[in-house]
Amino acid sequence: MRKIFLPLYILFLPLLLLGQHTPLSIRLSDARSGEPLAFATIQLLNTQLGAVADSAGQAVLNIPPGHQALRLRAQMLGYQPQNIVLDQRLDTLEIRLEPLSEALGEVVVSGTLKPMSRSESPVPVEVYTPKFFRANPTPSLFDGLHIVNGVKPQLNCNVCNTGDIHINGLEGPYTMVLIDGMPIVSALSTVYGLQGIPNSLVERIEVVKGPASTLYGSEAVAGLINVITKDPRQAPRFSLDLNHTSYGETSVDLAGRFRTGAMTSLLAANLFRFQQRWDINNDNFTDVTLQDRASVFGKFAFARPKDRLANLALRYVWENRWGGELQWTPQWYGTDSLYGEAIRTNRAELLGNWQLPLDEHITLAYSWNIHDQRSAYGATRYNGRQQIAFAQLLWDKSFGARHDALLGLATRYTWFDDNTAITASPDGQHNLPAQTWLPGVFVQDDIRLSDRHRLLLGLRYDWNSAHGHVLSPRANWKWSPDDLNTFRLSVGNGYRVANVFSEDHAALTGSRRVVLAADLRPERSWNANLNYTTKFFPAFGFVGLDATAFYTHFSNRIIADYTVDPDLVVFDNLSGFGVSRGLTLNSDWNFTNGLTLLAGFTWMEVFNEDHGLRRAQLHAPPFSATWSASFPLPKWNLRVDYTGSLSSPMPLPVVPNDFRPGHSPWFSLQNLQLTWKREALEVYVGVKNLFNFLPQDPLLRPFDPFDKQANNPVSNPHGYTFDTTYNYAPLQGRRLMLGLRWSWAD
C-alpha cells in the first residue's frame, strides 16, 4: 500500500500545497516616527480576508491559494490608507503609513495658542481637513460648514443671502473667525468673512466650542473657527479645482508654489460666478443671490537662521452680489421702483508672524484689514467701512519639567464709519467714526501634574476704551486613565462688547434711529464643558467616540429693544439671563473593507429669561445631526461619498397673526458624490440636496416689497409688512455637480 500511496502523494503534492493558505507576516509603522501601529488593519482586496495588527504592529495575513498578484490595503484612523500590489510572493512585508491631519497626534494651536499634539491638548479641539470638505465641495467655507456637528451656517436674509456662523445655537456675533490665529474676521466683515477663502490654501480648520476670551478677547464666546493656511514650503507645486453645477454656479480654485532665494511663496486664487435667475416658488424674487467674486491670496515664508519663524500673507476679496425682483437691474439701485438688495464689497488683509532674534522664544503676530461695503436694501442705502489693526507678542517659556507657560501682550484697534446715526455727530451734520482700543495682557500655565493628569490655567485682562476693564479667567483639566480614554473638564469666562452691525443688520437699514444705552455693559458668560473621548478596536476595524456636555450662563446679554420708541432701536443689556446647554456626540467608524463613517448629533436648549418669561433662541434647533460616509472601490479607482444633515423644528421669526408656522419642519439636506482618482487627477460628479427639500414662504408680502399698500385694511387686514428673515434652509433645490481636481506635488 505504501508503494501505491507514495507516488500518488508525490503526484498530488503541488495541488495540496496550492490548497493551503500561505502566511504573510506584516509589520505596520508610522512613516514619520517609525513607531509600530497597534490595531492597524490590513485587507486582501476583493476578498473577506483581513487581519489586525497587535500591540507591536505585527499582523499575519493568510493568503489563500490561487492568488498571484496580491492587492492589499492597509489603514488606520488618522493615517493615509495605502494600497499595495505585490507581483511576487514574500514572507515578510513592511508597511509605513503617512499620518493624516485628522490624527489625534496632529498638532493644533487654537486651544492654547501654541503648537501641541491634539491628543495631549487639555482643550478639546476639533480638526477638519480639506479631505473632509471634498466629500461635499462648496464654493465657500461658509457653505461647507453645514456638515460639521454643532456648527450651523445661518442665512439671515432671503434676498441678499448674507449669514453668520452659529456654534451650539448661539448667534454669529458670539463666534470668532480667525485666519492663522489672527482675528481678522469680525464686526462688519462677520457677514461676509468666510466667502472667498480659496480651498486650495487651507491646511485644516480647527473648531473650539466654548468661551475662548482668555486667549482671544472679545467675541470668542460661543467658540472660534480658526482657518489654518498651508505652509508655502510644504504646499504642492500646483493645484487646480474647478466645478460647475446645473444651477449655473461655476467655481475655480487654483494655487501655485514658487521659490526665490530664501523666500518660498504660495499664491492662490478663487473665482466664483453665478448669474442665473431662479424663482422656483414663483414669488417673483430670486431664490439665490447672483454673485461675482474674486479672491487672491499670497503667503510668503522666509528662511532665517536657527529656523526662526517669519511669514507674511496678503489677501484681497472683491464681490458684487444682488438679489431681488426678477426684473431688477443695476439702474434701479437704491430706488423704490423695483426692489433689489445689492452689496459691493472690497476687502484687503495683511497678516504675519516674526520671531524675534533672541535666545528666548518670543514671536510677534500682527494683522491689519480694511473692509469697504457699498450696498442698497431696496431704497435704503448702507455704506460702511471698517479697519482693524491687531498685534500680539507671545513669549513661550518653560519652567522646569512641569510648567509650560505662555505670556502675551495684545492690542486691537477698530475704526468704523458708516452712513447711519450710530456714527453721526449729535447735530447730525457730519460723521464721527467710532474708534475702539482693546489692549490686553494674558498668561497661561500648562502644568503636567503627572503622566495622566494635566492642568491648564489662564487669566486675561483687557481694557476696552468704550466699556472699561474686563477680566477673563479659565481652567482646563485633562485626565487620561489609560491610552484609550480621556476626560477633559473646561471652565471659563467669556465676554463680548456690542458691535451694532453684527447685532442687528436690519436696524441699520431701516427707518429707525439706533441708540446705544449710556451704561451699556459688556456681555459676560460662564461656561463649563465636560468632554470624554474613547477608542475601540473591534474585529471590523476602529471606533472613536467624542462626547461633550456643555452649559453656558449669560448675564448682561445685549439685545435690541424696538418698544421704547417707534422711531428708535435701543441697544441695552437684558436684565435677566440667558442659557445655552446641551450634549454633543461625534463618532468615527473605520472598517477593514475601507468604509469610513463620521456621524454626530447635538441636543441643545438655548433661551433667554427675563422677568419670569422664557424665550427660545431663534434659529436654534433642539436636535441636529450630521454624517459623512465614504467607501472606496479600488478596483475602479472610485470613491463614493454620502454626506448629510438633519435638523429638528427650530423657532423662527414670525410677526403677529403670521400665517406661517412659528417653527420649521423636520428637514434634511443630503448629498451624494462619486470620485474617480488616478494618481494626481480626480474627477467627481455629485447630486446636492438629493431629496429636493425647499423651505416654504420665505418672504412675507413679496408683491409689495416697499410696503406701499401695507396700510390698506382691505387688502392687508393683519398689517403685514415685507419681511426677509424667515429662513431655515437654503432656497436651492436638487442640482447636479461636475468637477475636476489636479495636483502636482513636485
What's the 3-state SS for 15-73? HHHHCCCEEEEEEEEECCCCCECCCCEEEECCCCCEEECCCCCEEEEEECCCCCCEEEE
- Distance, in Å, from the CA atom of 408 to the CA atom of 441, rounded to the nearest integer, reads 6
Instruction: Print burial letters for 234-247: b (CB count within 10 Å at least 16), e (below 16).
Output: ebbebbbbebbbeb
Domain 107-228 and domain 229-744 have a common topology = no
Segments of the chain with pLDDT less than 70 = 1-21, 32-33, 65-69, 77-78, 87-89, 99-114, 116-117, 184-196, 198-200, 211-215, 217-219, 421-422, 428, 497-520, 560-569, 746
Grid coordinates belonging to 40: 492597524
Q: What is the DSSP letter of 332?
A: G
pLDDT of residue 15: 41
Report domain 229-744's class. Answer: mainly beta
pLDDT of residue 392: 92
pTM attached to this predicted model:
0.82
DSSP 525-552: EEEEEEEEEEEE--TTEEEEEEEEEEEE
Three-state secondary structure call for residue 558: strand
CATH of the domain spanning 107-228, picked from 2.60.40.60, 2.170.130.10, 3.40.640.10, 2.60.40.10: 2.170.130.10
SS (H, E, C) 101-115: CCCCCCEECCCCCCC
- Distance, in Å, from the CA atom of 441 to the CA atom of 436, rounded to the nearest integer, reads 17
Q: What is the CATH number of domain 19-97?
A: 2.60.40.4130
pLDDT of residue 338: 94
| Nearest Cα to Cα of residue 256 among 231, 233, 235, 228 | 235
| 338 half-sphere exposure, CB direction, 13 A CA radius | 17
SS (H, E, C) 267-318: EEEEEEEECCCCCCCCCCECCCCEEEEEEEEEEEEECCHHHCCEEEEEEEEE
| Whole-Å CA distances, 516 to 423, 466, 500, 608, 730 | 11, 11, 9, 20, 33
Residues 6+ apart with CB under 8 A from 472: 211, 213, 214, 459, 460, 461, 462, 492, 493, 494, 495
Give the model confidence (pLDDT) of 429-477 as tens digits: 778 888 889 899 999 999 999 989 999 999 999 888 877 888 888 899 9
Three-state secondary structure call for residue 579: strand
Determine whether 457 is exposed, middle or buried from the number of CB atoms within 10 Å of its CB (0-12, 13-18, 19+): middle
* H/E run at residue 500: helix 500-503
- Distance, in Å, from the CA atom of 278 to the CA atom of 289, rounded to the nearest integer, reads 9
- Distance, in Å, from the CA atom of 73 to the CA atom of 44, rounded to the nearest integer, reads 7
pLDDT of residue 449: 92
Domain coordinates in residue numbering, the chain: 19-97, 107-228, 229-744
Amino acid occupying residue 313: A
- Distance, in Å, from the CA atom of 201 to the CA atom of 241, rounded to the nearest integer, reads 11
- Distance, in Å, from the CA atom of 435 to the CA atom of 411, rounded to the nearest integer, reads 13
Q: Judge whether 119 and 104 are in contact, CB under 8 Å.
A: yes
Quick one: how far is CA 742 from the chain centroid?
24
- Distance, in Å, from the CA atom of 475 to the CA atom of 444, rounded to the nearest integer, reads 9
- Distance, in Å, from the CA atom of 573 to the CA atom of 542, rounded to the nearest integer, reads 49
Grid coordinates belonging to 532: 470624554
